[in-house]
Amino acid sequence: MEGLFDDIARQIDPAGAARAQTAENRRALLASDEVGFLSIKRNEWTPDGKNFLKGLMKMLHTEGSHPGLSDEDQCTFRLHIALVTARMFLRRLQQGHLS
- Give the phi and the psi of residue 80 in degrees, each rounded to 5: -65, -40
Q: How far apart are the first and last CA of the chain?
A: 19
- Give me the pLDDT at residue 56, please: 93
Residue 99: predicted pLDDT: 56
In contact, 1 and 8? CB cutoff 8 Å: no
CA pseudo-torsion sign 24, 30, 34, 40: negative
pLDDT in the model for residue 32: 95
> What's the confidence (pLDDT) of residue 74?
84
- pLDDT tens, position by position, 53-71: 999 998 887 765 555 677 7
> Which residue ranges make up each domain of the chain?
2-95
In a 13 Å sphere around the CA of 80, the CA atoms on its Cβ side amount to: 6
pLDDT at 68: 67
Low-confidence ranges of the chain (pLDDT < 70): 63-68, 98-99
